[in-house]
Chains A and B, each alone.
Chain A
Amino acid sequence: MMWKYIRRYLPYAILAAAFMVGEVSMDLIQPGIMSQIVDDGVLGLNTGGTGNLDLIWRLGLQMICLVLFGGLCGSLNNVFVHMSGQNIGNDMRKDCFRKIMTFSFPQIDRFGTGSLVTRMTNDITQVQNFISQFVRGMIRTTVLTFGSIYCMFRLSRVFGYVVLCVFPLIILVMAVCMKKSSSLFTKLQTQLDTVNSIMQEDVAGIRVIKACVRELYEKLRFGKANNELIQTQLRVLIIFAFMNPIVNALMYLAVAAILLVGNITVRAGGATPGNVMAAITYTTQLLNGLLMLVMLFQNITRGIASWKRVRVLLDSTPELADGEQAGETALRGSVEFQDVSFAYPDGQTVLEHIDLKLEPGETLALMGETGCGKTSLVSLIPRFYDVTGGAVLVDGVNVKEYRQTALRDKIAVALQKSELFSASVAENIAWGDPEAGEAAIRAAATVAQADSFIAQMPEGYQTLVAERGMSLSGGQKQRVSIARAVVKNAEILIFDDSTSALDLKTEADLYAALREANPHSTKIIVAQRIASARQADRIAVLENGHIIACGPHEELLASCPTYQAIYQSQMGEEDDHHE
């Protein structure tokens, strides 16, 4: 899976690796040359004890060239590492986004909005860093580690053995520390989440805290969570405080051993003083390589965890299969529920055996208690969710047989929680119809009773909607989102409690304007207020997932006890006397 992405930028990665090998090789050659400078240049071991200045300069020059070449390799490696890492990350990010855009709502619900956002942002960045560090760090450490060991063996077998003795010990120390800390990291994350959520909810709920005089309680609650977090954090830090010094100590042990063994070897003629010096330099290089490995390891574990989370996203397949129907139908605007049952994926049954048919141009209002399934019912029409039993027909065709885009082109939805985007008001409205000109947008806004307040804003229709509409009031947001639905000029209009924040006068004006502007559209209005519903041709009353009554206002008022109860709760008793 990862390979798919790497493959595209493989040349970059290979070049990066090659340059890295070049850089490290230069690092490895230098101590050898230095050993030569000491032995032949200074001590003159091969020329009977007289130093050779020419040789020193020559070797020095040679070293400078190698160093500069090494630096060049390093820089080029850096360039290619980032070109591969960033591009791979970018491809992944784009693929993830494309994937999310094919998801069904149950899929989105399962992941959760927050989790999807973290996966797209944080996790992919981690993966990207992981790739870059892997290409750079892993190759560097591996070549440096094994190169150093190899070079030491070349200097003298005994030096090699000394390092081979210490090497496993160092690895062991690191492994123990990593293992101990990794379980703590998970704990740390949960505790951190707890502390953060207490902070956030207390900041948001300060009025309730103060009203209940619970300041002290909150301080204690926070103190406890904070304390737990700090304890874990301390344990992690202390584990790492032990690691470096112990690894260092082991290395110093190796240096001491090399000096002692080196002395014997030099006396026996198996090595030169320069060799001893070079061996010590290699040991330090080796150690640096290993310490870098620890840092890498941390990032790698984090990177792998992130990759797993990203992978789940990339691996998931769109759940909704597209149908063949491209949208041409004889009927325009009919909706039919045939024995529809629906349950959310978690098993919670919401609707049972719903039978309902809407003729083109009809207006239907849906009423019922909170949580009785009104929103679920209308969500089935644009196939936000699939029915678990029965069928939903739009214009006489099962919604599953449509191409999803074709189906949704027929329908315009305005939601209770109006979702606006960071763009200008005009652009937000034009989501309904990208071709819509200024006049069309204005007309739609007028129908939605939004024109007057939009025109009063400093930049009119070009005013930017900041932070998902934070700059607008609830009622204003709802009206913009209604304008967006109106401009779409769809066969079927669904208002899912989308006028709840409007006062009744505005709402009444809006519905009147709408009747005039879109007389042929079928309209489905989910409402809480009788006043919003009573103008509809028919009103369907939902209770416990069933339609218990469906008919015009007067009829329901006469025959449906539930409707009467709703009516009374909104009207009060004395109005009955008027009737």
Chain B
Amino acid sequence: MNEPKDQKLASRNMPGMNRPDRFAEVQHAEHLGATLKRIFAYFARERAMVIGMLAVVIFGTLCSVYAPSLQSRAIDTIAGVRTGNLLGIVLLMLGVYLLHSLCQLLQGVVSARLSQRVVKHMREELFAKLVDLPVRYLDTHSHGDVVSRMTNDIENLSTTVSQSLPSLFSGVLTIIGTVAIMLWYCWQLALLSYATVLLTLLATKFLSGRVRKFSRKRQQLLGQLNGTVEEMVSGYRTVVAYNRQAQTTEDFCQTADSLTKVGIKTDIFSGVMGPVMNCIGNIGFVIIAAFGGYFSIHGLISVGVISAFIVYAKQFSRPINELAQVYGQLQTAIAGAERVFTVLDEADEDKAGEALQDNEQKTVTFQNVNFSYEPGHPVIRDFSLTVPSGKKVALVGATGSGKTTIVNLLMRFYDIESGTIRINGQDISQVSRDDLRKNMAIVLQDTVLFSDTLRQNMKYGNEAATDEEITAAMKMSRCDDLPRRLPQGWESVLVNSGENISQGQRQLLAIARAFVADPKILILDEATSNVDTRTEKAIQDAMQRVMQDRTSIVIAHRLSTIRDSDIIVVMDHGQIVESGNHDQLLAQRGKYYELYQTQYAGFAT
């Protein structure tokens, strides 16, 4: 379960600027073949660009293989071991080099466009998928995880494919090209130069094992450290109230110190790779200089060839260096792609169905409804209830008694297992979800506002609403002074999901939003729990008017919220224990009476 936290940290990186480090943990895809095929499909859509890019890469590589041989000829001409028109050779060489640069440029531009197009498409597709998925998916998956797929995995995939792939491709071509031409010039010297490749591979293998071991430890400590900071800063009030600053600091310093120790070890092992590679490169250089000189004296090669070899040796050690790295990156990217595809493969919420019959009356009937989130753990059992049109029904009961589940079922966020839910006799499982939901409005305990303007937020449930309608709704929910209090009035953007207004205000806004939606059926799920009782009372009075001819279902913790309901339903373990109006239930002296007594114990003196 540590993973989401780490990924959250990673998501702070800038997209496109991720520079996966050489020894980063490599992840593996489970179904490599199938995943690859789908990745191909994405890039196949941009066929022209992909083909263009590959052509440019091939041409560029040819240039880079050809140019050093011209350089070698020029040196030979200068040394006098070969005659020819030096100016001509140099100009040709320059031309080839410049073409190579041009190819690099084109490749860069094309791969940037390609990667960004693929990111854009994939991200839009995944976002659309998330919105279209049944609520169950987001209820059962960590949100941090989902967001990380949207950012990291997609970003990773496209950067790797569009940037590492060309370098892989040109790398392989360059290796083949240079190896061939080196062998052609002087196979003895070529073979000697290849010795450095072996050294590179050995060094990488030796170091990477060690680095991985330490970096895993480091990652874990880092998570711990960041966790401590987050916890102590957000819980600062408590830290101060209990005078725990010194103790907390000491704990923090301990973690910080052990992180530093592990960090130094990791960095030493991973950082030493640079100097070691440099050293190996230089050894190659020496081999070429010394043995090249030796061969040259024996007349096997000319001086110019030594110069060419130096360039070639550089040219072919670079891609070999990169290959190991790119290979790991590719695997991680493919594993990420697989995760993205898993989400994309989830079935959408089924939007099909008939329209809800247009009728001013909205009678809601539950008939022998059974439901469970997990098989074998029934949450709603044989639930039957009729909510007459225009009446207010309250659901009461302990946490976990299934009140909120009833809302989930009525909104068709989840589908029932058996039984039926009807509106005016029409089975809602036959009604399209969109049409069903358009007839209802819900206000939830966790208020959701969007980082959009105040007006857009208010119009969320009813796009056609006029400013007058919105003001009227806000007046009813007692928050009509808000546009005046916010700096930009109606156009103020509610930052960070509405954190620039208080929790209570947010709830009032959410209620106003539901009023604006002007629904046939209104559902309030603990909607006023963060509002003090007087304000709640005022809202209720207003609601009485609004809800006069509407069916409403109210879930509340405070009995004062629901006592004037037409029907109060007491639930326990997914079943209805009693129902009736307040006075009837009190008279019954059952569960409701008990609840009432505890809430108002000692009041009725």
Contacts and interface: CB of A to CB of B under 8 A. Distances in A.
B541 to A, nearest CB: 10
Interface stretch (B171-179, B230-238, B567-575): B230-238
Interface string A39-68: 001110000000111001101100110011
Nearest to A78: B271
B274 A212 contact: no
B303 A273 contact: yes
A192 interface: yes
A522 B105 CA distance: 76
A10 interface: no
Contacts of B109: 238, 241-242
A67 B279 contact: yes
Interface in A232-276: 233-234, 236-238, 240-242, 244-246, 248-249, 252-253, 255-256, 259-260, 262-263, 266, 273-274, 276
B238 A570 contact: no
Interface in B1-53: 9, 11-12, 14-16
Nearest to B266: A82
Contact of B267 (A132, A409, A508): A132
A504 interface: yes
B97 interface: yes
B289 interface: yes
Interface size class, chain A = 35 or more
B78 A218 contact: no
Contacts of B560: 569-572
A74 interface: yes
Nearest to B504: A370
Contacts of A98: 249
A408 B242 CA distance: 7
B323 interface: no
Contacts of A530: 603
Contacts of A504: 598-601
Given A64-B286, A196-B11, A213-B434, A78 B531 contact: no
Contacts of A132: 267
Given A78-B272, A230-B119, A565-B534, A212 B460 contact: yes
Contact of B143 (A108, A204, A240): A204
B303 A42 contact: yes
A371 B507 CA distance: 13
A430 to B, nearest CB: 10
Interface stretch (B359-367, B415-423, B445-453, B467-475): B445-453
Interface stretch (A115-123, A162-170, A349-357, A436-444): A115-123
A38 B310 CA distance: 13
Contacts of B401: none
Interface in A507-541: 508, 528-531, 534
Q: SS class of chain B's interface: helix, strand, loop or mixed?
A: helix
Contact of B14 (A108, A192, A405): A192
Interface in A206-224: 206-215, 218-219, 221-223
A136 B101 CA distance: 29
Nearest to B563: A572
A234 B500 CA distance: 33
Nearest to A554: B605
B219 interface: no
B307 interface: yes
Interface stretch (B145-153, B180-188, B332-340, B381-389): B145-153
Chain A interface, DSSP helix/strand/loop, else mixed: helix
B600 A571 contact: yes
Given A212-B460, A223-B124, A415-B237, A241 B105 contact: yes
Contacts of A43: 79, 303
Interface string B468-494: 000000000000000000000000000
B105 A468 contact: no
Contacts of B123: 226
A222 B124 contact: yes
A75 interface: yes
B138 A245 contact: no
B92 to A, nearest CB: 10
A79 interface: yes
B603 A575 contact: yes
> Which of A78, A185, A565 gathers the greatest number of chain B CB atoms within 10 Å?
A78
Interface in A57-110: 57, 59-60, 63-64, 67-68, 70-71, 73-75, 77-79, 81-83, 85-87, 89-90, 93-94, 97-98, 100-103, 105, 108
A303 interface: no
29 contacts: A26-B282, A30-B285, A43-B79, A53-B294, A63-B285, A67-B279, A71-B278, A73-B275, A74-B272, A90-B259, A101-B239, A201-B450, A208-B460, A211-B461, A212-B461, A237-B112, A241-B108, A245-B104, A249-B97, A253-B94, A256-B90, A259-B78, A262-B78, A273-B79, A370-B535, A468-B231, A529-B533, A566-B533, A569-B537
Give 5 nearest A-B pairs by CB, closest first.
A74-B275, A241-B108, A60-B290, A71-B279, A205-B448
